[in-house]
Amino acid sequence: MYSAKNVIRSRMKKSREDYFKSLSDAVRIDLNKKLVKNILGLIPSNTQGPVAGFWPMSFEPDIRPVLETLIPQGRRALLPVTQELGAPLIFRSWKPGDRLQESSFKTMEPLSNAPLYDPEVILVPLLAFDGRGHRLGYGVGHYDRTIQCLQKKKISILTIGVAFEVQRVNELPMASYDQPLHWVVTEEKVYKFI
């Protein structure tokens, strides 16, 4: 399982990078806009809980405008914060202009004085997803652990994977702790899984 996932992980890292690098600035901006529109269409309008996004890193789509759109509508926006290896992610409040710091995973995170909240919606970055809503991440188990931990606290969450269409594969190897996503949104489609 470990090595099967690792093989797919390296392959999908490479295809996401190749795809990203093949895009002109104009096309990439257009793709990000389509993703943002698709995501905004899935945010429930009958609830007001916090929405966790992510600060884009290497060759990921930039979906920050989702948060920038939701904040003026009265939603709280959150960004993930990594803890020690093996611990779930926690989420801290973010708004445009806030200072961020780089984590040991090279992600940009709110400072430790930004207030903590549990998200109601989590936008989940990924390397690959399959036809059943399973995802492959960087292999640290961050999001799997986090989703499980929130579910244990009886917090009802909506998980939305965010990806380019090139990240879709037929079937990923599954482990018992893998949490399928409710939705995956790409620049072309909105996939419903749960």
Reading the block at residue 149, the tokens are 């931990």
Contact partner at residue 88 from ligand ATP, ligand FFO, none, CB < 5 to 8 Å by partner kind: none
Q: For residue 160, which amino acid is it?
A: I
Question: Does residue number 138 form part of the binding site for ligand FFO (CB under 6 A)?
Answer: yes
H or E segment at 160?
Answer: strand 158-162
Alpha carbon of residue 142 to chain centroid: 11
Handedness of CA 139, 140, 142, 144 (dihedral sign): positive
Is 142 annotated for ligand binding? yes
* Pairing of β 90-93 and β 108-110: unpaired
Reading the block at residue 172, the tokens are 């990923």
Among 175, 188, 190, 194, binds ligand ATP (CB under 6 A): 175
State the residue number with the nearest CB to ligand ATP: 137
Is residue 53 packed enough to be buried (19+ CB in 10 Å), middle (13-18) or exposed (0-12)?
Answer: buried
Cβ count near 112 (within 10 Å): 9
Ranges within 33-72 binding ligand FFO (CB under 6 A): 54-58, 60
Among 19, 117, 138, 193, binds ligand ATP (CB under 6 A): 138
Nearer to ligand ATP, 60 or 68 (CB): 60
**Binding window for ligand ATP (CB under 6 A); candidates: 17-25, 63-71, 95-103, 135-143:** 135-143
**Binding window for ligand FFO (CB under 6 A); candidates: 33-41, 43-51, 134-142, 181-189:** 134-142
Virtual torsion, Cα 23, 17, 65, 145, nearest 10 deg: 160
Interacting residue ranges for ligand ATP, rule: CB under 6 A: 5, 136-145, 148, 175, 177-178
Binding site for ligand FFO (CB under 6 A): 13, 54-58, 60, 80, 82, 89, 105-107, 125, 137-138, 140, 142-143
Enumerate the known binding-site residues. Answer: 5-9, 60, 135-143
